[in-house]
Structure 1
Amino acid sequence: MNVDLHMHTTCSDGLYTPEQLTKMAAEAGLSVMAISDHDTVAAYSGHSFAPGIRVIPAIEMSSDYDGEDVHVLGYYIRPDQKELTEYCRQFKQRRLNRALEIADRCVSLGYDIDRGQIEGMLAKGGTVGRPHIARMLVAKGYFPDVKAVFDTILYRGGPAYVPYHRLTVDACIDLIHTAGGLAFLAHPGLLKRTLSRVLAFPFDGLEVYHPNNRGRCDEFLRIAREHHWLVSGGSDFHGVPGRFPETVGSYAVDESYVHGLLAYRP
Structure 2
Amino acid sequence: MPTLNADLHCHSVVSDGTLTPEQLAERAAANGVALWSLTDHDEVGGQQRAAAAARASGMRYVTGTEVSVTFAGETVHIVGLGFDADDEALRAGLRATRGGRGARAREMSEQLAAAGIEGAYEGALKYVGNPELISRTHFARFLVEAGVCRDTGEVFRRFLTEGHPGFVPHRWAGLRDAVRWITGAGGIAVIAHPARYRFTANEEYALFSEFKAHGGQGVEVVTGSHTVAEYARYADTAREFGLAASRGSDFHSPGESHTDLGQLPPLPGAVTPVWDLLADRIR
Normalised TM-score (structure 1) = 0.89
Q: In the alignment, is residue 15 of structure 1 matched against residue 18 of structure 2?
A: yes
TM-aligned CA deviation for residue 45 of structure 1: 4.8
- The answer to whether the aligner puts 1:177 opposite 2:183 as a matched pair is yes
Runs (5+) with no aligned partner, structure 1 = none
Does residue 1:62 correspond to 2:65, yes or no? no
- Runs of 4+ displaced beyond 3 Å: 45-48, 114-126, 252-257
* Cα deviation digits, residues 82-114 of structure 1 (max 9, x gap): 122122223333112211221122112111225
1:80 equivalent to 2:86? Answer yes
Range 198-207 or range 217-226, more displaced: 217-226
Please list the CA deviations of residues 124-174 of structure 1 after superposition, one character each: whole Å capped at 9, or x if unmatched.
Answer: 466110000110111011110111111111112422111112112122111
Distance 1:128-1:117 versus aligned 2 partners, 3 A rule? same
Specify which structure has the higher proportion of strand: 1
Segment drifting more, 124-133 vs 180-189:
124-133
Secondary structure at 2:172's aligned position in 1? coil
Letter in 2 for 1:221: A
CA deviation after TM superposition for structure 1 residue 36, in Å: 0.9
Residue identity in the other structure for 1:28 = N
* 1:102 equivalent in alignment to 2:108: yes
Are the aligned partners of 1:39 and 1:61 in contact in 2 as well (CA < 8 Å)?
yes
1:36 to 34, 39, 51: 39
Match of 1:161 among 152, 164, 167: 167
Are the equivalent residues in 1 in contact too, given 2:120–2:139 (CA < 8 A)? no
> Per-residue deviation at 1:72?
0.8
Identity %: 29
Pick aligned residue for 2:241 from 205, 214, 227: 227
Name the counterpart of 1:218. 232
- What is the match of residue 127 of structure 1? 133
Q: Distance in 2 between matches of 1:243 and 1:59?
A: 19
Judge conservation of contact 2:125–2:138 (CA < 8 Å) in 1. no
When the two structures are superposed, what TM-score results if normalisation uses the length of structure 2?
Answer: 0.84
Q: How many residues align?
A: 265
> Distance between the aligned counterparts of 2:80 and 2:240, measured in 1?
21
Pairing of 1:109-124 with structure 2 (within 5 A): 109-119=115-125, 124=130
Task: Give me the whole-angstrom Cα distance separating, in 2, the residues matched to 1:34 and 1:43.
Answer: 11
CA distance in 2, matches of 1:36, 1:126: 16
> Paired residue for 1:241?
255
The 3 A distance-change label for structure 1 pair 115 and 70 is: closer
Aligned ranges 1:171-210 → 2 under 5 Å:
171-191=177-197, 192-193=199-200, 194-201=203-210, 202=212, 203-210=216-223
- Is 1:91 equivalent to 2:91 in the alignment? no
- Cα distance change, pair 116–220 in 1 and its aligned pair in 2 (3 A): closer
- Give the superposed CA RMSD: 2.4
